[in-house]
Amino acid sequence: MKWTRGCILFLAAITSLTLLAGCGGSGVTQTTKTEHYTVQLSLDGTDFGERTATIMVNDFAGQPITADKVVLSPVMQQMGMAEPETTAQMIAPGRYQAKGEFFSMVGEWRVDVRVSAGGNEEVADFRIQVAQ
């Protein structure tokens, strides 16, 4: 099958529109590793207002971690702003949830997720782009 320039442009336009439809206040999921854990942060939206954050904490073998405490700390470094820390509640082994107004300005926010377990504390660092 021969791809014409028009066909390629059409597919590129459809792909762009599909990606743009998911921008703005849509949810986001990111995963990162700390020294001992894999931490996944899922937000139901990246805009203003009350949001729900779901945090999954597993060891490197994929087993859920029962943490003593999981805390979200949103900071906008460029503006020197920080929102109040929010302690997440365990809803299942290795699964935690927090609700709050995590963002108050459009731009890039760093959300630190502090996991305290067994006397150790590790921080997972996430970058979230907030749009209104």
58 with 64: CB under 8 angstroms? yes
Query: What is the separation of C-alpha 6 from the centre of its chain, rounded to a whole number of angstroms?
Result: 38
Residue 92 CB burial class (10 angstroms; 0-12, 13-18, ≥19)? exposed
Question: CB within 8 A of 8, min separation 6: which ones?
Answer: none
Q: Say whether pLDDT at 60 is over 80.
A: yes
7 with 14: CB under 8 angstroms? no
**pTM, two decimal places:** 0.78
pLDDT tens digits along 79-116 = 888 889 999 999 999 999 999 999 989 999 999 999 99
Amino acid at 39: V
Residue range 25-130, CATH number = 2.60.40.1930
pLDDT tens digits along 19-40 = 333 344 589 999 999 999 999 9
Residue ranges per structural domain of the chain: 25-130
